């Protein structure tokens, strides 16, 4: 009986230690973001673009003058803050997904080419990466968006062009190490083309590292989109975006703090959760770190 109790306690402690290692909080926050972003047209209680001036600057429901009709209050135009935050999550998801697919694909391709061919190809690509990394990301993105005119397509293109160097640098470093492996040499001896080797042998080898990079880049993309929207160079109004919502409420922070605070909290929780998830993925997927456990 005593042994059974001790075994049960040991197993429970083992499960608890395992659970502590899992990113429970980040997964919950990101799952909520994902669900609200996908289902925003159906779960948002009000139209995020239409307001009622008679209901403007309503405080959140827990305030004395608040109402359950507007759980997070309303802005200066009488628009529901909760509905705008929910639809802002949809915008962030769309921007992050499209830019990561485009920018990540460009960066991975350039990195594999640089790592595999070396020589002048490597030098040219890496100098482009160095030039891009030396330039302030926000300033470059702001100049491009203002020059080309603020629109959703321009925003996607600008952000994609600002994130590809990180993917290229990581893919190139991994490819340089992988191309010295025996199985790559055997593939060359067997007559495999460079294209086949990069796709079949190098790309799977760099996948774990690139997954971690992508998880961290999502937070950077969301923060960059919010910053550009805050500066008026992001998603054009009246489309709700977290950055533009913060900008609309900054002058009213003393009288209507919820207008800027609610989207600001959404940005903070999302980026923090993505960074924590990226750290967990790095610790989980990196074999060197697993050996230290």
Q: Assess whether pLDDT exceeds 80 at residue 165.
A: yes
CB 36 within 8 A of CB 43: yes
| Residue tagged 């609610």 (tokens) | 262
Average pLDDT over residues 120-124: 88
Which residue do the tokens 């020589």 mark? 119
Average pLDDT over residues 161-188: 85
Q: What are phi and psi of 180, to 5 degrees?
A: -90, 0
Give the mean pLDDT of 254-277. 88
Please, are residues 44 and 33 in contact by the beta-carbon 8 Å criterion?
no
Q: Report in angstroms the alpha-carbon separations of 232 from 166, 224, 229.
A: 26, 12, 5
Higher-scoring residue by pLDDT: 281, 92: 92
Per-residue pLDDT at 155:
84
Gap between the Cα atoms of 94 and 132, Å rounded: 24
Q: What is the mean pLDDT of the chain?
A: 82
Please give the DSSP secondary-structure letter assigned to residue 122: H
What's domain 26-291's superfamily in CATH?
MetI-like (1.10.3720.10)
Neighbours of 169 (CB within 10 A): 20
Give residue-wise pLDDT tens across range 202-255: 888 888 788 888 888 888 888 888 888 888 887 877 788 888 888 888 888 888
- Confidence grade of residue 9 (pLDDT, cut at 50, 70, 90): low
CA distance 70 to 204: 49
Question: Tokens representing 231?
Answer: 């500066």
Nearest to 240 by CA among 103, 51, 106: 51
74-91 pLDDT, tens digit each: 888 889 999 999 998 988
Q: Which residue has 């802002």 as its token pair?
A: 88
Question: Where is average pLDDT lowest: 25-29, 59-63, 133-137, 288-292?
Answer: 288-292
Q: Higher-confidence residue: 191 or 110?
A: 110
Phi/psi for 211 (5° steps) reads: -65, -45
pTM across the whole model: 0.82
Measured CA distances, 54 to 78, 83, 250 (Å): 7, 18, 21
Joined together, the tokens standing for residue 232 give: 């008026």
Strand partners, 70: 67
Query: Contact, 78 vs 51, CB < 8 A?
Result: yes
**pLDDT band for position 102 (cuts 50, 70, 90):** very high
pLDDT in the model for residue 185: 80
Listed by start position, the domains of the chain span 26-291
Give the pLDDT score at 17. Answer: 62
What is the pLDDT, as a whole number, of residue 292? Answer: 42
**8-12, 13-17, 158-162, 236-240 — most confident range:** 158-162
The 3-state secondary structure of 82-140 reads HHHHHHHHHHHHHHHHHHHHHHHHHHHHHHHHHHHHCHHHHHHHHHHHHHHHHCCHHHH
Share above pLDDT 70 across residues of the chain, in percent, rounded to a whole number: 89
């Amino acid at each position: 009986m005593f042994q059974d109790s001790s075994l049960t306690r040991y197993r429970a402690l083992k499960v608890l230690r395992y659970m502590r290692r899992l990113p429970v909080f980040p997964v919950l926050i990101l799952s909520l973001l994902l669900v609200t972003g996908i289902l925003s047209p159906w779960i948002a209680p009000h139209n995020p673009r239409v307001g009622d001036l008679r209901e403007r600057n309503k405080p959140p429901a827990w305030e004395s003058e608040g109402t359950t009709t507007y759980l997070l209050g309303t802005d200066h135009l009488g628009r529901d803050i909760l509905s705008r935050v929910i639809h802002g999550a949809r915008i962030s998801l769309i921007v992050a997904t499209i830019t990561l697919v485009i920018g990540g694909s460009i960066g991975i391709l350039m990195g594999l080419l640089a790592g595999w061919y070396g020589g002048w190809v490597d030098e040219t690509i890496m100098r482009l990466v160095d030039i891009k990394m030396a330039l302030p990301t926000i300033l470059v993105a702001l100049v491009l968006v203002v020059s080309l005119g603020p629109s959703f397509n321009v925003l996607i293109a600008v952000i994609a062009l600002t994130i590809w160097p990180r993917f290229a640098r990581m893919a190139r470093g991994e490819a340089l190490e992988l191309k010295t492996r025996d199985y790559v040499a055997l593939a060359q001896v067997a007559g495999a083309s460079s294209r086949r080797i990069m796709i079949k042998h190098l790309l799977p080898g760099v996948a774990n590292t690139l997954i971690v990079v992508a998880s961290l880049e999502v937070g950077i993309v969301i923060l960059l989109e919010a910053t550009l929207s805050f500066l008026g160079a992001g998603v054009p109004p009246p489309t709700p975006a977290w950055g533009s919502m913060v900008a609309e409420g900054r002058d009213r922070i003393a009288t209507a703090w919820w207008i800027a605070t609610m989207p600001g909290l959404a940005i903070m929780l999302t980026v923090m959760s993505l960074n924590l998830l990226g750290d967990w993925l790095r610790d989980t997927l990196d074999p060197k770190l697993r050996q230290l456990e």
